[in-house]
Structures are given as C-alpha cells and as structure tokens.
Structure 1
Amino acid sequence: MSFDYDLFVIGGGSGGVRAARISAGYGAKVALAEESRMGGTCVIRGCVPKKLMVFASAAPAEAAQARGFGWEDATAGNFSWDAFKVRLDAELNRLEAAYTKGLEVAGVNIFHQRAHIVGPHEVELADGMRVSAKHILIAAGGRPYLPGIPGDDLGMISDDLFLLDRLPGRVLVVGGGFIACEFSTILNGLGVDTTLVYRGDKVLRGFDNDLRELLTMQLADSGIHVRLKQNPARLDKQGDQTRVTFEDGKVEDFDAVIFATGRAPYTKGLGLENAGVTLAPNGAVAVDEWSQTNIPSIFAVGDVTDRVNLTPVAIREGHAFADTIFGNKPHNLDHGLVASAVYTRPHEVASIGMTEDEAIQRGGVEIYDTRFRPMKSLFAGSDARVMMKLIVDEATRKVLGCQIFGPEAGELIQLVAIPITMGATKEDFDLTVAVHPTLAEELVTMRQPSRRHEAPAPA
C-alpha cells in the first residue's frame, strides 16, 4: 500500500519534534502538525520561560546575600515586568524559530494547524485536507486543568502567567506540586504578595519525605503564606478582584488566582476513537514499552502517555521511536530511573531513584545523609541548611537513589545521575576524591550510614 508519508506526527513539542527530525534523518518522509506554537509546553509555556523567571525572581535574595559579603549598598532595584516580558518574548520567538528551522532543514513538512486521526493510517487537518501515513505518532502533550469548583473559570492556569500584562498585587496559588511551588517562589521573589494553598500536609506529594518537609518550611520562611490542609470551595467576581471562599468557610479577595492543580493528557478531539486506540481512564494514550498503542501503526510519546511527564523523557522516547522504526536500532527507554528537579529558591529540590519512604517498604537498605549550613549562605548570615541523602542496597551495595535539597540541586543531580544509572556502588562513591570546598563533596564523604531499614521477614 502506498502512503503520502512514512510518518505523520501530531504535536510540535519536544518529543514530537525530536521524533520527526531523527526519522527524517534516516530518510523517512515525515510531516508534522502543530496547532499552536512550535516548541510545545517546555519551550513556550513551561521549562524555559519558567526558569528565566526563576532567575529574575532570585535577584532580591542575591542582593541581600551580597550585603552579607560587604557590598553594603547592594540592592536589586525596581523590577520592570514590561522590560522583562519584552526580553522573554524575544527569547521564546528565537527558540520557536530554531525548532521550526531544524525541522525544515531535516526535510519535515510542517502543517501549522490542528490535526486529528481519521483511521489507523489517515489524518485530517483543520482545513479539511486528508493525508495518509504508514505510521502515526501522537505527541500532543498535556494541558493544565481546572479543579471543577464553582467559578473556577475566574482563575488562571499556569500557562497564563507568561501572558500577563502586569503582575498582580496579591495572588493565590492553588496546588502543591512542581508548578505550584515554583510559581509561588517566582511571584514572591518578584514582589507579589503570594499565598499558597494545598490540601495536603506538606508540598510535593510523591517526593522523599525529608525533601517535602524542607521545601514546605522554605516556602514559608521566604515570605509565602503557606496554608496546608485547606482548599478553595468556590470563586466569585468581586469588582476587579476574585473572591475566594475556602472549604473552612473563610473568605478572602485576591487580584488573581492561579490553579496549579495538575495536568491532563491532551487527547480530547484527536479522533483516537476513530482508529480504536485504547485510552487510560484519565485520557492518556495507552502504550507498551515501545511507545506503541494497541493499533500497530499508531504510537505515542511524551505527556500524552502520562508515563514520566518530563521534557527530557519525551525527547528520549521520541528519539527511541525514530531509532527503532526507521533507524534499524531498536531500543526503548527505562522509565524507572529518571532524575528530576524543582526550581525553587534559595534551595532547589532534586531527586533520582528510590526515596527513603520507598526504602522503608522495600527493606535491606542503608541510608546515608547529611545536613549542614553551606559556606556561602552561612557567611552571609543565613541559617538555611542543605540536605543530601544516598540510599544504598545492603546486599549489592548499589546506590539506589539520591535526594538533594540545596542551591543548584538540579545541576548536582544531573551529575550524580550518571554513576547511579551506571550501577555505581557506595564504595565507588567512597573511592572518588572530593573537590573541596564544594557542596557536592558531601556526596562522596558520607562514610557511615545514618540508619538502616531491615528487609521484611520471610512469610
């Protein structure tokens, strides 16, 4: 059977672009459809603009630290959202153009419009044009969702933060995950009176318990009004403000409410039912370890599959798909060992592998950890403490996990992820000569376990 394309990709985010570009490099005839801006969530409304805003928001704290080092007149001055926004928009435009050019140079045919599936080998574009493809790859990503309370349409989602004409004077951030913690840090650092409300007893559900406790305390210590075990029940318009009624009956007015309560796979309206593609209960595309759906010609990568919803994972999934289908180099991605970081300030949260909570359940594990006041902030007068933790298998001596709370923890976890992924043992860490004075030297100087978690007794 003859097809218009060897591969048709729906979605121009990180995973879809990587799959399209690598597949085209193998000689495949490839097309890609993107209904919004090229680059997807990460480039346009996620990782990149968020990290740039984190950098901007850190200036007041950095100025305060500089005063601790003798720069008596150091100050961050007045922040101009307008000036920052101009530079931010220019950078996102540059990145979007680079993504587009990369595809064009590779020979990918780009359709700047929405596409949906008509059948196992057929796609229809928004303008009515239909094309056929031997393989179809769904890489439509995810979208923030509202919590379903009365008046939630009066609130914003995380995407909206990058589109604001001006910063609000007082904001309520709803949620306790990555996005809620990072956005609270950003807004607080930019001078916005910020309240974070979360239904749990501490933020970052699913992370190591020590990391959760430390970040919850840091958010409050930095000036964010942290309200735990609480949730908004409804929103109402009150003049230029939004009136929030909480579940405990309290009522307050805010200039803006941002819902950071989660993201859902963006599969609605993609026509997957037309091809008989199986979806998970939350709408995610169900795939196997090769990113293949129950329909042999249709694959999916990235957040739309709701496996590990991180940009580098989507990229690796897309690359593995291209290598397997068009490069004669079959391989897939092990989702069991993926590092992640939460870009809060002054300290970040970073993790790879097993948490201590998981270690307790598993047993047969040693915990090596340390807490200390780092040289730089200590000298400047800060009481902030760093935490580092290694989780080690007692029998094999392999390092099963690492948890870090400290400055630039994301940079540290990227490096320590390499030996952990390679299967390094605690003794391999011990043999490594420390670089002094650094934060990271603590990872190779913890000699004695702080505690052990015994293996469960045989049944």
Structure 2
Amino acid sequence: MSDFDYDLFVIGGGSGGVRAARIAATHGAKVGIAEEFRYGGTCVIRGCVPKKLFVYASKFSEEFEDAEGFGWSVGERQFSWEKLVAAKDQEITRLEGIYRRNLERTNVEPHDSRAVLEGPNTVRLLATGQTFTAKYILVAVGASPNVDDDLIGGEHVITSNEAFNLADLPQKVVVVGGGYIAVEFAGIFNGLGVDTTLMYRGDEILRGFDMDLRTAVRDEMEKKGIRVVLGDTFTEIAKKADGTLSGKTRKGATLEADQIMHAIGRKPHTVGLGLEQAGVEMDAIGAIKVDASSKSSVPSVYAVGDVTNRANLTPVAIREGHAFADTIFGNKPWTVNHSLIATAVFSQPELGTVGLTQEEALKVTSNVDIYKSTFRPMKHTLSGRDEKMLMKIIVDADTDKVLGVHIMGPDAGELAQVLGITLEMGATKADFDRTIAVHPTAAEELVTMREPTERIRG
C-alpha cells in the first residue's frame, strides 16, 4: 500500500500534462490530474487549433479571387464571423471530449479545479478544499499572454484569448507584436477583410528566424495590404465616445482602431501556484527551472511545457511529458532533444523551418554554403497573384551536412515536418542531390539546387 494518495498528480490538463498522465497510467501508476478550465490546454482551446481554423477561413478571400484565373466564375460572396466562431466552438468542444475520454480510458482521475502546491508532495484543490498527496507532482500549467504593464490604457487591449471570441469582427485592427501569434493574426484579420496594421518595436518581425525569411514574409504581407510598422509601439491607448480606440506611439504617431490586440509574448502561468512555498526555484519571469529530465529543484516536483520556457511549442510539451512518464514510471529513461525542432508559422504566406538559421550556422562553422531559390509558385502562373516562394538550404561546407532548411510558401509547414526527419538523421547535401525530384511540385526545388548562391569562407 502506497503512503501517498497518488503516484503522480498532474497540475494542468493541456497537451503536455495529459500525455504525461496517460503514459504514467499505462505504466501502472495511480494518477490524478487537475484542470481549472477545459482539458486540451492553450493549443486546443485558445491557441494553435482555433488559430489554424481561422487561418483556413481567412484564405478563402484569395482563393475566390484566384479561381477566376482557372476559369471559375465566383458569384456574390458573404462572410459570417458568427458562423465561424460557432463552428470553431463546436470543434473545440469535440476535441475536449476526446481529451477527457482518453484520460478515462487510462483510468486517470480528473479533477475539474485549480490545484496549488501545499508542499513537495501535497496539492490542494481550490474548488473543494480537498488535499491529496502524491509521490511525484508534475506542473504543466502552460503560459498566458503578456500585456504591457506600463501601457496607459492597457485595459482596452485584447489578447489572442479574447480574439477568438469577439462578438463582432472589427473593421479596423492594430496587432502589436512580431512573433508567431502577432504575424498569424495579422494575416487572419487581413484575409477576413479587416483593415490591418501590424506594429512591432523591433527592426524586423519574427525574431529568431532566418533573416531572409523574415524580410520575405514581411514583403509578402505588405503586398496583401497589411501595414507593417517597425521600431515603434504604443505608449497610451484611449477609448473614444463611439467605442473605438486611439493609440499614441513612442514615435508620436496616432493610430485608431476598433480593436488593438497585444501579442507581445507569453509568461509562465505560475503566479499563486504555491511553488515558492514548496521550495521550487523559478527564473526572473516565473519559469520553473528544470534539468534535462524536467526535474525541478525539488526532487518530487517536475515540470514540462511552456511553464519551463524551454521550447514553447505544443509538440515539445507532449514529448517532454512522455519522456517524464517513461523515465519515472516505465523504467525507460530518455530525454528530449531541444536542439533540432521543426516548426511552422501559419503566416500568409506560410513558413516552415528546421535547423540553424544562416546567422546561427556562422557561429558554428565559418565555412558555409547557402543554396537559395525564389520563384513564383505554379498556381500563381494562372491566378496572376504576385506572390513569391522562398527556399533556402544551409550546408556546412566542410562536412556537407545540411544545417538548416527554411521555406516560405504554400504548405511550408507540411514540408518542414518531413525535412525534420532528414535533418534528425544527419542528411548531407549529397543525400538531397541523390533524391529524384517529384515533378511538378515546389518541393522539387529542394533537390535540384546544385550550385550554392553564396559561399561564406572563414
């Protein structure tokens, strides 16, 4: 008989926490899990899933226009924001049901409540006051959107949380930020016919991505009618008598909009969780400090996902949760490799990337070959749309190993997934060259670029 109520208690019912709970239970552990809102977490409820659905919706405006080039006559068009939101809600409810059923199938005991730590082995449910002991506690509470505390009138802005459920589609919007969420929502609003401005305080959007992709996607966004303002941000926002907003920027400009959305990053959702009382160390932004096995400074407390601020992506949280459960309860120890992660930005056009950027590669080796191609996707030869596709391969010239591949264009995210496998296996440029092209596709460009467009030698 165990001295604890549970072998494992998971705080947070998102992708990472649910995966850890289910895998631990299949290894024979008695598992409890607490979620204060809805199972599925940020990704399913208010993140990547509804975002991707909104991206699909926003693309139809261009699809209708492009159809004419292929002989279609498209009649009167009308968009209903209310129908889109309702359809999105229905799908999220379906997915949450799947998450709950999967927990039940593995005999994980769910608790619909916020849980906090009372000590290294004790949690308390705020909804009922119940306390439970557990040999191990896994914190998987994710992160929440940042809002600038110094912004006068900051109470008037929305974040991605509210953007998914607006009562009405705004006619004019300003999106503040330059990362995944900001760039994706700028494309969504623009595609749905909203007058859209993207404002970012840095000198170029999508910090951390390869510079060629950063500039290329901004150029394409501007072609689509999105106004991109760089090197500036709001200092004050006021609500006018008619309900619209007026924002003053650091450089003295005034921007007016129906909605101003902040997408300026996310912070670990650790405030009031009881981590300090349990002795769990956190960094300056509230992220839980963990080692490679996801163990915190307290041996019984582990953490996975965005709450650790390592690589804040849903598939990474899932892998971390799985590795934790296999290691602790399955006698199959392994850790997650955070150094090579394929990712996609569902901007318009889309980005897919895996491996090192050119800037990062030059820090690893001074002998680099760059293969780059910019071309018009085949579809647009008839649609007439002025939109380019970019493909870039970065190669270590000394070893021929492919260090990074970066794509902007249709289905770039799908390509990044497959490319991630090849780079994980250590593919060389010669491996790419030996591969027969699939014609006619855009992806064939990856195996037909024979000569580098640039050679950088140290």
Q: TM-score higher than 0.5 here?
A: yes
Structure-1 separation of matches of 2:384 and 2:16: 44
Structure-1 separation of matches of 2:60 and 2:193: 11
Q: Residue 103 in 1 paired to residue 103 in 2?
A: yes
Structure-1 separation of matches of 2:265 and 2:129: 33
Would the aligned equivalents of 1:64 and 1:75 in 2 still touch at CA under 8 Å? no
Q: TM-score scaled by structure 1?
A: 0.97
- Give the secondary structure class of the aligned counterpart of 1:118: strand
Aligned-residue offset at 1:257: 0.7
Aligned-residue offset at 1:242: 1.5
Would the aligned equivalents of 2:21 and 2:32 in 1 still touch at CA under 8 Å? yes
Structure-2 separation of matches of 1:192 and 1:451: 40
Aligned-residue offset at 1:341: 0.7
Q: Residue 40 in 1 paired to residue 41 in 2?
A: yes
Superposed counterparts of 1:54-203, under 5 Å? 54-71=55-72, 73-74=73-74, 77-126=77-126, 127-148=128-149, 149-203=151-205
Q: Alignment RMSD, CA only?
A: 1.1
Taking every aligned residue pair, what percent have the same amino acid on both sides? 52
Would the aligned equivalents of 1:60 and 1:75 in 2 still touch at CA under 8 Å? no
Aligned-residue offset at 1:379: 2.3
Q: Residue 246 in 1 paired to residue 249 in 2?
A: yes
Would the aligned equivalents of 2:245 and 2:258 in 1 still touch at CA under 8 Å? yes
1:29 paired residue number: 30
Structure-2 separation of matches of 1:228 and 1:435: 39
- Give the secondary structure class of the aligned counterpart of 2:167: coil
2:276 paired residue number: 273
Deviations 1:131-169 (A, max 9, x none): 000000000000001012111111001111111111111
Would the aligned equivalents of 2:342 and 2:420 in 1 still touch at CA under 8 Å? yes
1:228 paired residue number: 230
Counterpart amino acid of 2:371?
A: Y
Q: Residue 452 in 1 paired to residue 455 in 2?
A: yes
Relative distance call for 1:43 and 1:75 in structure 2 (3 A) is: farther
Deviations 1:82-136 (A, max 9, x none): 1112211110000011101110111011110000111111111102111000000
Structure-2 separation of matches of 1:200 and 1:231: 9
Counterpart amino acid of 1:105?
A: R
Moved more, 381-390 or 307-316: 381-390
Structure-1 separation of matches of 2:168 and 2:257: 15
Deviations 1:362-415 (A, max 9, x none): 312211111111111122212311111111112221111110011110011111
Which consecutive aligned stretches of 4+ in structure 1 deviate over 3 angstroms post-superposition?
A: none
2:418 paired residue number: 415
- Give the secondary structure class of the aligned counterpart of 2:237: strand
Counterpart amino acid of 1:43?
A: V
- Give the secondary structure class of the aligned counterpart of 2:379: helix
2:267 paired residue number: 264
Structure-2 separation of matches of 1:252 and 1:203: 19
- Give the secondary structure class of the aligned counterpart of 1:400: strand
2:52 paired residue number: 51
Would the aligned equivalents of 1:359 and 1:453 in 2 still touch at CA under 8 Å? no
2:340 paired residue number: 337
Aligned-residue offset at 1:294: 1.1
Q: Which structure 2 segments of 5+ residues have no match?
A: none
Counterpart amino acid of 1:404?
A: I
Structure-2 separation of matches of 1:75 and 1:415: 38
Q: Give the aligned length.
A: 453
Q: TM-score scaled by structure 2?
A: 0.97
1:20 paired residue number: 21
Structure-2 separation of matches of 1:399 and 1:429: 9
Counterpart amino acid of 2:358?
A: E
Aligned-residue offset at 1:76: 7.2
Structure-1 separation of matches of 2:246 and 2:5: 54
Relative distance call for 1:75 and 1:448 in structure 2 (3 A) is: farther
